[in-house]
Structure 1
Amino acid sequence: MKMPTEKIDTAMFAPCGMNCLLCYKHCYHKKPCAGCLNSDMGKPEHCRKCKIKDCIKGKGLAYCFECPDYPCKLIKNLEKSYNKRYQASLMENSEFVRQHGLERFMEQQKGKYTCPKCGGIISIHDRECSECQESMK
């Protein structure tokens, strides 16, 4: 899957701060996931059962950072996991969106996660290109 050259679908930004476009599931499957708040088709089990997704829907909010309880325990635990496993910060992503907007965030992500060799998408989870499988570690 190539990085879109046109505007990136902002629905691919999850309430927790994850850019779903960079997910290993989205990068490597013929029927990719449509993003956090869309259909459960193609989603990994942990995304289908996500308590953060259920919480945000129950509160009628678009993003976790809009909640008065932010950052809650669920977000702090996910943040800790992403910091440790992928050297990424979902809270920094959320703060960027809060300050600069979603379109600017997605443009910044496009620059950061586009394979320089072939234009594929570099997965946040394994740092591997979706097209040429080049490792970006």
Structure 2
Amino acid sequence: MKMPKEAIQSAMFAPCGMNCMVCYKHCYHKKPCAGCLNGDAGKPEHCRTCKIKDCIKGNGLTYCFECSGYPCKLIKNLEKSYNKRYQTSLMANSEFIRRYGLEMFMELQKQKYTCPKCGGVISIHDRECSECHEKMISSDSCSSV
């Protein structure tokens, strides 16, 4: 999958702070997931049954950072996991969007996760390009945006 030339759709930003465009399920499948804010087609089981997504819908919100209880235990646990496993802060992503807007965030993400060799999408989960399968080495520590 190539990174789109146009802006990344806002529906690709998950309620928890994840950019679904750089998720391995979106990058590597013939029928990519359409993002957390869209239907369940192509989603792995853990995304279809996500308690965070259910909570957001139940509270009539779009993003977790809009909630008065943010960050809740669910977000803190996911944050801890993403910090440890992928050196990424979903809470920092959400804070950036709160301050500067989703459009700017997605543009920066597009720059960060586009393979410089072929224009493919670099997965946040394994740092591999979806097209040329080149492993990208990131010097970012607990990076966001």
Rounded to whole Å, the distance in 1 between the matches of 2:25 and 2:16 is 17
Rounded to whole Å, the distance in 1 between the matches of 2:93 and 2:9 is 16
What are the equivalent positions in structure 2 for 1:66-85 lying under 5 Å apart? 66-85=66-85
Structure 2 gaps of 5+ residues are: 138-145
Number of the residue aligned with 2:122: 122
Query: CA shift at 1:7, angstroms?
Result: 1.4
For residues 73-108 of structure 1, the C-alpha deviation after alignment (integer angstroms, 9 at most, x for no partner) is: 000000000000000000000001000110100000
Q: Secondary structure at 2:104's aligned position in 1? A: helix
Query: CA shift at 1:16, angstroms?
Result: 0.4
What are the equivalent positions in structure 2 for 1:33-72 lying under 5 Å apart? 33-72=33-72
Number of the residue aligned with 2:89: 89
For residues 32-66 of structure 1, the C-alpha deviation after alignment (integer angstroms, 9 at most, x for no partner) is: 00000211110011101100000000000011001
- Which structure dedicates a bigger proportion of its chain to helix? 1
Aligned residue pair count: 137
Q: Secondary structure at 1:135's aligned position in 2? A: coil
Structure 1 gaps of 5+ residues are: none
Rounded to whole Å, the distance in 1 between the matches of 2:104 and 2:69 is 26
Q: Secondary structure at 2:53's aligned position in 1? A: helix
Rounded to whole Å, the distance in 2 between the matches of 1:39 and 1:134 is 30
Number of the residue aligned with 1:135: 135
Q: Secondary structure at 1:7's aligned position in 2? A: coil
TM-score (norm 1): 0.99
User: Runs of 4+ in structure 1 displaced over 3 angstroms?
Assistant: none
TM-score (norm 2): 0.93
Q: Secondary structure at 2:42's aligned position in 1? A: coil
Percent identity between matched residues is 82
For residues 105-129 of structure 1, the C-alpha deviation after alignment (integer angstroms, 9 at most, x for no partner) is: 0000011111010010000000000
- 2:110 equivalent to 1:103: no
Superposition CA RMSD, Å: 0.5
Rounded to whole Å, the distance in 1 between the matches of 2:45 and 2:133 is 24
